[in-house]
């Protein structure tokens, strides 16, 4: 049914870069056989899933939305992909994304943008717009995304789906093509909070292949959803972050957010206002740390090891092949960030930019620590606006970056967050999202409160 749905709508939505019809049908048949034979089934056995094209899939091309990786077929599976296969989830295909996960609209994909199923002239968010659109359009019931500064949560908000960024280190990054290693997290993209918990329990947990993986159990996330579904939040202290709202936020988004807060009060939660003064510097901090890490990560695309190789005429040197390949293979946004990152890391500027950003990152983490002393979870609108029109912000990088104002602090501090639909904005009838953040390793709290908000 999902493959039929993809065939029916994906020429308009363009959520997928790659559909693996044969592989998905074979896996579904294997699951049916297990069921018929009465063999043990995993919680999501036979449930199809779409995978963001930044995760390595053995035998299936993995492009990261970039021309430089066109035609690259990984010889191994990412740990999360291996877990999906072991649990019997048919992989429908690979989803579209901004090139190397840089962007908030999927317009930076080298393979053309994804369209928001709510309005095909609008963006589905990014960078994981393909995963969110696949789930929102009923092409897939589940998807995997990655969130470095909001790429799971912001697409969730603007497509009316649920997205979770787990605690940093809670889900293995092995086989995830790194954008910024200290910020990246793999997580679920689903239509319900319960589905997200089921998927999170499946993909989470320690992985010896990822040196930043936390050696702690995932916890009872489905149990936390059950607690939230009871509609009782008594004893829970909710902190409304003063700095994540107000100016720059669309009135309809703020109105839906206020309703979410009222709903929590109605469920018995205690609501307090908290202040995180350093959050106003989060965007600037992120756009030094991220390009620094990204420029270093992207150095491996040297025309020798993977994918594309452009050989200029004559007898070019290795450097000339590298330059021609990187010039043709990377898009403008990727080049912009490589330049920013190498500049920020260069000798003489390192302390002024990268070093300074690391200090502010610590201040942001301290703001979280202080806020979590006053509240069990923090809440805000997930994104400042609903989905904007395709092309609207493409030539204005700063306007594009501002979409992640509310999501970036969580990545800088490594804390978990969920985005849950909060309703449709009055101005445009488009979905808005509410974000719930919790301390590191307290992912269960975002599920409990998230489920109560559904």
Q: How far is the CB of 179 from ligand GLN (least distance, A)?
A: 5
**Interface with ligand GLN (CB under 6 A), residue from 46, 74, 129, 150:** 150
In 220-355, alpha helices (H): 221-229, 251-266, 282-297, 318-329, 332-345
101 binds ligand GLN (CB under 6 A): yes
How far apart (Å, rounded) are the C-alpha atoms in residues 377 and 198? Answer: 21
Q: Is 103 in the site for ligand GLN (CB under 6 A)?
A: yes
Q: Which is nearer to ligand GLN, 31 or 285 (CB)?
A: 285
Q: Does 239 bind ligand GLN (CB under 6 A)?
A: no
Give min distance, CB of 408 to ligand GLN, in A: 7
Q: Does 188 bind ligand GLN (CB under 6 A)?
A: no
63, 151, 297, 385: which one binds ligand GLN (CB under 6 A): 151
Positions in 392-451 near ligand GLN (CB under 6 A): 404
Kind of pairing between the strands at 186-190 and 162-165 = antiparallel
Residue 131: active-site member: no
Which two structure tokens, joined as six digits, stand for 358?
């690391």
Options 104, 106, 114, 435; binder of ligand GLN; rule CB under 6 A: 104
Identify the residue among 129, 130, 149, 252 touching ligand GLN (CB under 6 A).
149
89 vs 101, beta carbon nearer ligand GLN: 101
- Nearer residue to ligand GLN within complex by CB, 153 or 448: 153
Are the CB atoms for 252 and 426 separated by under 8 Å?
yes
Residue (of 244, 300, 299, 302) closest to 277 by Cα position: 244
Residues of span 252-291 touching ligand GLN by CB under 6 A: 290
Residue 182 annotated as catalytic: no
**If you search the block for the tokens 């269960």, which residue do you land on?**
444
Shortest gap between Cβ of 104 and ligand GLN (angstroms)?
4
- Judged by CB under 6 A, the number of residues near ligand GLN is 13
Active site residue 300: no
Could you tell me if residue 364 is left (phi over 0), alpha (psi between -120 and 50 degrees) or otherwise beta? alpha
Q: Identify the active-site residue in 31, 66, 109, 127.
A: 127
The C-alpha R_g of the chain, in whole angstroms, comes to 21
Contact 25, 99 (CB under 8 A): no
Cα torsion 437, 439, 440, 444: sign: negative
Instruction: Give ∠ CA 294-299-301 in degrees, rounded to 5.
Output: 110
Binding residues vs ligand GLN (CB under 6 A): 101-104, 127, 147-151, 179, 290, 404
- Active site members: 52, 127, 151
């Amino acid at each position: 049914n999902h493959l039929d749905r993809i065939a029916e709508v994906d020429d308009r939505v363009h959520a997928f870069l790659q559909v693996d019809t044969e592989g998905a049908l074979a896996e579904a048949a294997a699951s049916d056989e297990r069921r018929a034979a009465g063999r043990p089934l995993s919680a999501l056995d036979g449930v199809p899933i779409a995978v963001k094209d930044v995760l390595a899939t053995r035998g299936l091309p993995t492009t990261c939305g970039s021309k430089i990786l066109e035609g690259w077929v990984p010889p191994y599976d990412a740990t999360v992909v291996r877990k999906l296969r072991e649990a019997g989830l048919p992989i429908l295909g690979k989803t579209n994304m901004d090139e190397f996960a840089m962007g908030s609209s999927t317009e930076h994909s080298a393979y053309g943008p994804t369209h928001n199923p709510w309005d095909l002239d609008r963006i589905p968010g990014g960078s994981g717009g393909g995963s969110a659109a696949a789930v929102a359009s009923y092409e897939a019931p589940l998807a995997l995304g990655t969130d470095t500064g909001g790429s799971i949560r912001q697409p969730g908000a603007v497509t009316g789906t649920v997205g979770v960024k787990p605690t940093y280190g809670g889900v293995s990054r092995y086989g995830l093509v790194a954008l910024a290693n200290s910020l990246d997290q793999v997580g679920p993209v689903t239509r319900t909070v319960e589905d997200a918990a089921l998927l999170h329990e499946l993909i989470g947990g320690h992985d010896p292949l990822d040196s930043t993986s936390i050696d702690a159990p995932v916890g009872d996330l489905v149990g936390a959803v059950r607690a939230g579904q009871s509609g009782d939040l008594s004893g829970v202290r909710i902190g409304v972050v003063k700095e994540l709202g107000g100016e720059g936020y669309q009135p309809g988004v703020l109105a839906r957010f206020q309703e979410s807060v009222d709903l929590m009060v109605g469920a018995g939660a205690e609501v307090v206002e908290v202040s995180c003064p350093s959050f106003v510097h989060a965007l600037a901090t992120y756009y030094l740390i991220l390009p620094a890490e990204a420029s270093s990560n992207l150095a491996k695309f040297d025309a020798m090891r993977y994918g594309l190789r452009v050989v200029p005429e004559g007898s070019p040197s290795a450097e000339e092949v590298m330059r021609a390949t990187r010039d043709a293979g990377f898009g403008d946004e990727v080049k912009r960030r490589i330049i920013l990152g190498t500049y920020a890391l260069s000798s003489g500027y390192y302390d002024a930019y990268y070093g300074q950003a690391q200090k502010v990152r610590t201040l942001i983490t301290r703001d979280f620590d202080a806020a979590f002393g006053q509240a069990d979870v923090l809440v805000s609108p997930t994104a400042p606006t609903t989905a904007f029109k395709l092309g609207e912000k493409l030539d204005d990088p700063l306007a594009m970056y501002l979409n992640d104002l509310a999501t970036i602090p969580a990545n800088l501090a490594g804390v978990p967050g969920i985005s849950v639909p909060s309703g449709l904005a009055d101005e445009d009838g488009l979905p808005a999202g509410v974000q719930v953040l919790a301390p590191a390793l307290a992912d269960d709290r975002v599920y409990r409160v998230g489920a109560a908000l559904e």
